[in-house]
Every structure is written in structure tokens, then in C-alpha cells.
């Protein structure tokens, strides 16, 4: 009982430390991170996003490691207009595990940091609204559509520690037929 409490306090403490100083996964390895992921968790506080919360699906993405260390992320999103595919380009920074990208929608450079991953099961990814300032989104990625509860709990605790409200922390259901199955 007591060890559990200590362990929980330790985890919360570590998460708060991460909050104070955003550090990517130690010894981040892009080759191991590449490949297929499902976005099985999303924390996003934007007021304009509230009406869409219960429509979010666990999108599938493919991380492609480019030879120069940059990344292309191909994402399939189930939208009211059908399954849409988008390619996002992330540029590496001096810090392995941290990337920048230019948001055409918001017309500014944002950054994206792989905070924690064990490559084979899950990854927690943090996105800033303005480079290095103001968290905008935390995502939990899984190699499959169901990740273990300990990874989900880690993601939720991290999002809460950054000030995301409980209602903004989502674990969406799988997307249906997106990307479309090739059988038809
Ligand atoms: C990466 O994405 C860019 C922009 O969409 C595209 O021009 C390029 O061919 C992609 N590279 C790979 C290896 O997929
Ligand atoms: C990654 O995390 C999962 C779930 O938390 C765990 O079952 C698995 O053993 C871990 N893999 C490695 C290589 O640490």
C-alpha cells in the first residue's frame, strides 16, 4: 500500500518536472520511432474544438524518417467529408525528439516533442501553440488501437499536470474504414 503511494507520488513528481522543462525522450531514436501509430489519446482545450469532442476517432498515422533526420507524418482522419489523408512535414532541431513545423492554418512555427516512448507500444507527444510556449495539445500514440492502461494513465496524468481539464482529455474509439480497407 505504502509503496504504491510512493510510486504514484514519484510519477506525479516526474511529470511536474517535465512540465517545468520540456525534455524529449532520452536517447530518442527516430528509426525505432518510425512506422505505423494510432492516435489513441488526445488532450486539446480549444473552445472551438468542444463540439467535436465526441466525434473524434483514433486516427492512424505513418511516421516516415527522412534521410536528413526530418519526418513526414501521413495521417488518415475520419471527417464528416469522409476519410481524408494529410501529410505533415516536421523539421528536426538540435534536440533529438523535438521537431518544428510551419502551421499554414495559424501561419506560425510550432514545435512538437516526443516526450516519452518505448517505441514498441506507446508514445506521448506534446505540441506547442507558439514555439516553446503555451501547450496546445498532448497526444498518446499506440502501435495498436488498444494500448495498456498504464500508458493511458501516464498520458492522462501528464495532460492534467499541464493544466488540461478532465473533459478535454479524450481516448477516442477506433476509426471505421479509415484508411479504407483495400479489400473492396
Ligand atoms: C515528404 O513530404 C513532402 C511534402 O509533402 C514530399 O514532397 C516528400 O516527397 C515526402 N517524402 C517522403 C520520403 O515521403
Ligand atoms: C512498452 O510498454 C508496454 C506497455 O506499457 C510494455 O508492456 C512493454 O513491455 C514495453 N516495452 C518495452 C520495450 O519496454
The per-residue pLDDT for range 136-167, each reduced to its tens digit, is: 899 999 999 999 999 999 999 999 999 999 99
Which domain covers residue 146, as residue numbers?
2-170
Residue 145 covered by a domain: yes
Coil, helix or strand at residue 2: helix
Q: Would the CB of 151 count as within 6 Å of ligand 2?
A: yes
Residue 8: its pLDDT value, please?
54
Give the cell for residue 76: 488518415
| Ligand 1 atom, smallest distance to 89 CA | 2
* DSSP 8-state symbol, 104: T
Q: Whose CA is nearest to atom 14 of ligand 1?
A: 72
Give, for ligand 1, the residue of 68, 85, 87 to mutate: max count of ligand atoms closer than 8 Å to Cβ.
87
Q: How far lies 16's CA from each of 12, 22, 75, 95, in Å?
A: 6, 10, 30, 21
How many beta carbons lie within 10 A of that of residue 163, not counting itself?
11
Residue 36 covered by a domain: yes
Residue 27 covered by a domain: yes
State how beta strands 35-44 and 60-65 pair: antiparallel
Give, for ligand 2, the residue of 118, 146, 153 to mutate: max count of ligand atoms closer than 8 Å to Cβ.
118
Query: Which residues, judged by CB distance below 6 Å to any ligand atom, belong to the binding site of ligand 1?
Result: 64, 66, 72, 87, 89
- How far does residue 74's CA lie from ligand 1's centre (Å)? 10
Number of folded domains in the chain?
1
Q: Is the pLDDT of residue 170 over 50?
A: yes
Q: Which residue has the higher pLDDT, 126 or 15?
A: 126
CA 34 to CA 52: how far, in whole Å? 29
Ligand nearest to the CA of 144: 2
Burial group, residue 101, by CB count within 10 angstroms (0-12, 13-18, 19+): middle
Residue 181 covered by a domain: no
Cβ–Cβ under 8 Å, residues 115 and 158: yes
Residue 38 covered by a domain: yes
Residue 52 covered by a domain: yes
- Please give the model's pTM, rounded to 2 decimal places: 0.83
Residue 176 covered by a domain: no
CATH code for the domain in which residue 94 is found: 2.40.128.20
Residue 46 covered by a domain: yes
Contacts of 76 (CB under 8 A, 6+ apart): 59, 60, 61, 83, 84, 85, 175, 178, 179
Residue 135: its pLDDT value, please?
77
Amino acid at each position: 500500500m505504502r509503496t504504491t503511494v510512493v510510486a504514484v507520488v514519484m510519477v506525479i513528481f516526474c511529470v511536474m518536472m517535465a512540465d517545468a522543462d520540456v525534455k524529449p525522450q532520452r536517447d530518442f531514436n527516430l528509426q525505432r520511432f518510425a512506422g505505423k501509430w494510432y492516435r489513441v489519446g488526445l488532450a486539446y482545450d480549444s473552445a472551438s474544438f468542444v463540439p467535436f469532442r465526441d466525434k473524434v476517432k483514433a486516427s492512424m498515422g505513418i511516421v516516415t524518417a527522412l534521410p536528413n533526420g526530418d519526418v513526414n507524418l501521413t495521417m488518415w482522419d475520419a471527417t464528416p467529408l469522409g476519410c481524408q489523408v494529410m501529410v505533415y512535414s516536421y523539421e528536426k532541431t538540435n534536440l533529438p525528439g523535438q521537431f518544428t513545423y510551419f502551421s499554414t492554418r495559424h501561419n506560425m512555427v510550432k514545435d512538437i516533442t516526443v516526450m516519452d516512448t518505448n517505441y514498441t507500444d506507446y508514445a506521448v507527444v506534446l505540441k506547442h501553440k507558439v514555439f516553446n510556449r503555451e501547450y496546445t495539445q498532448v497526444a498518446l500514440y499506440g502501435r495498436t488501437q488498444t494500448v495498456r492502461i498504464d500508458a493511458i494513465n501516464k498520458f492522462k496524468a501528464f495532460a492534467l499536470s499541464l493544466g488540461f481539464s478532465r473533459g478535454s482529455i479524450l481516448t477516442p474509439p477506433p476509426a471505421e474504414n479509415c484508411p479504407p480497407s483495400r479489400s473492396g
